[in-house]
Amino acid sequence: MRKKYTFIDLFAGCGGLSEGFYRQGFHALAHVEINHFACESLRERMKYYGYKDIDKAVIETDITREDIVDEIRKRCNTDNVDLIIGGPPCQSFSSAGRARDEHGMKNDPRNYLFESYVKILNAIRPKFFVFENVTGLLTARLKGKRHIFTVLGELGKEYKVYNGNPSDMVFNTVNYGVPQIRKRVIILGVRKDIDLEPADLYKGIVKTNWDSDMSESERKGLQPPVTVRDAIGDLPPVPNGGGSNMMEFKPKAMNSFVQKIRSKDDETLLYHVTRKNNDKDKERYKVMAQNHWTFLEMLEKRPDLRHEKARVFPNSYTVQWWDQPSKTIIAHLYKDGNLFIHPDWKQDRSITVREAARLMSFPDDFVICGSRTEQFKQIGNAVPPLFAEAIAKCMKKELNKVDKL
């Protein structure tokens, strides 16, 4: 019987990264997360996979506490952990976050949350680690130094990390079957006593789908990107302000993407309920989707729909078009859905929680706890499970090699 490899998930969120590792047969020892509703989602998923002692395994706490390593050791056996995975909150590195803050987020304490990751990593000493973050990590500067080099320097004290061009660590999730353009930095590390190089790990994360930036030769052998239509086109239409948190749903047919995230025996659909918008927003959504307009085109052709706010951005309202992957799903979705207008103009609405979850490649039976606001936050902050699974496949293959050394 093949060994079940183990992992600990730090800054676990609702469990998008963990889901990819579950799907590849990994065993979770612990999840560390501070948000209560995300912890409830983690517990629900552990129940789904048949775990016992779930309350022990989900550590709902502040990861910066002094005794965090002792707390993890109290909750699980850390003698021979295979992997630590996770990514500190990214708001202080994101371009949106820096744009909103007058100091460019330089004084934000979240800049240093990676230190808690490093502290736990060096104490528990797994064979490998996976560190995920936004691409803003590559350009953020603190005290005159690019923050990526500070992070790599700290991670590299006890682990071998990639020492090439940092841009080589950027991955677009659309290349891994996710119906969404979402670029993220993935830092992979190998404990220094193991005879493997980080560069070899990156080669094992295999692309399955091409993207629009690729040349014809680069696309050879790859599938087209998964589109918004592929992801949500089978879902029942719901009007603005309509839908239900649980409804009967049995699709007549399931395409290859839906087959990956939905059981053929499932006859329910969760969280397919929409926001209720004012009449002016509904008209904006409708005419933009119907005419394939950008926000600026709408303002030019329908001046009566100009926004009441004095300051709006060119992409303040954006339709997610049927035959393209969606734009990056962000946690801001909990505030309003203007950046995520449904492509069917007859529905004149923004996307539902279920549609956002599908665009992130979450399984349809994944329980996301809390209010709609909390659900959108959890989805927007997550790692898409199908991308996480591509990483997990690679790590499992490398762990098999280590076992044979």
pLDDT digits (tens, 9 = 90+) for 33-70: 999 999 999 999 999 999 999 999 999 999 999 999 99
Q: Do the domain assignments include residue 113?
A: yes
Query: pLDDT (tens digit, 9 = 90+) per residue, 327-341?
Result: 999 988 999 899 999
Q: Which of 161, 176, 266 is nearest to 223 (CA)?
A: 176
pLDDT for res 219: 97
Q: Are residues 352 and 395 in the same domain?
A: no
pTM above 0.85, yes or no: yes
Cα 93 from Cα 263, distance rounded (Å): 37
Cα 33 from Cα 68, distance rounded (Å): 12
Q: Are residues 191 and 44 in the same domain?
A: yes
Average pLDDT of 124-142? 94
Tell me if residue 90 is catalytic. Answer: yes
Q: Do the domain assignments include residue 221?
A: no
Q: Are residues 395 and 370 in the same domain?
A: no
Q: Which of 14, 39, 76, 90 is catalytic?
A: 90
142 confidence band (pLDDT: 50, 70, 90)? confident
pLDDT for res 108: 55
How many structural domains comprise the chain? Answer: 2
Higher-confidence position of 111 and 319: 319
3 state DSSP class of 252: coil
pLDDT for res 310: 59
Q: Do the domain assignments include residue 88?
A: yes
Cα 226 from Cα 177, distance rounded (Å): 6
Point out which residues pair with 187 in neighbouring strands: 131
Q: Is the pLDDT of residue 172 over 50?
A: yes
Mean pLDDT of the chain: 92
Q: Are residues 303 and 317 in the same domain?
A: yes
Average pLDDT of 10-28? 98
Structure tokens at 10: 């730090």
Q: Are residues 59 and 92 in the same domain?
A: yes
Q: Which of 68, 330, 46, 60 is nearest to 181 (CA)?
A: 330
Q: Are residues 148 and 54 in the same domain?
A: yes
Q: Is the pLDDT of residue 103 over 60?
A: no
155 confidence band (pLDDT: 50, 70, 90)? very high
Q: Are residues 363 and 391 in the same domain?
A: no
90 confidence band (pLDDT: 50, 70, 90)? low
Q: Which of 120, 197, 112 is nearest to 147 (CA)?
A: 112
CATH at 92: 3.40.50.150
Q: Which of 82, 76, 27 is nearest to 53 (CA)?
A: 76
CATH at 249: 3.90.120.10
Q: Is the pLDDT of residue 253 over 80?
A: yes
Cα 38 from Cα 12, distance rounded (Å): 8
Query: What is the Cβ-side half-sphere exposure of residue 368, based on CA atoms within 13 angstroms?
Result: 34
Query: pLDDT (tens digit, 9 = 90+) per residue, 203-213?
Result: 999 999 999 99
Cα-based angle 155, 158, 163 (whole degrees, multiple of 5): 55
Cα 29 from Cα 84, distance rounded (Å): 10
Q: Are residues 126 and 37 in the same domain?
A: yes
Q: Which of 306, 225, 236, 228 is nearest to 273 (CA)?
A: 236
Query: pLDDT (tens digit, 9 = 90+) per residue, 221-248?
Result: 999 999 999 999 999 999 999 999 999 9
Collect all residues with Cβ–Cβ distance below 8 Å to 218 and sequence separation of at least 6: 210
Query: pLDDT (tens digit, 9 = 90+) per residue, 273-329?
Result: 999 999 999 999 999 999 999 999 999 999 999 887 756 777 889 999 999 999 999
Structure tokens at 80: 């021979």
Q: Are residues 166 and 188 in the same domain?
A: yes
Structural domain including 205 reads: 6-216+383-404
Q: Do the domain assignments include residue 206?
A: yes
Q: Do the domain assignments include residue 142?
A: yes
pLDDT for res 73: 98
Q: Are residues 287 and 155 in the same domain?
A: no
Average pLDDT of 74-85? 96
Q: Do the domain assignments include residue 317?
A: yes
Q: Do the domain assignments include residue 158?
A: yes
Q: Are residues 196 and 119 in the same domain?
A: yes
Q: Do the domain assignments include residue 91?
A: yes
Query: pLDDT (tens digit, 9 = 90+) per residue, 180-195?
Result: 999 999 999 999 999 9
Q: Are residues 394 and 355 in the same domain?
A: no
- Residue 353 backbone zone (phi > 0: left; psi -120 to 50: alpha; other: beta): alpha
Query: What is the Cβ-side half-sphere exposure of residue 322, based on CA atoms within 13 angstroms?
Result: 9
pLDDT for res 201: 93
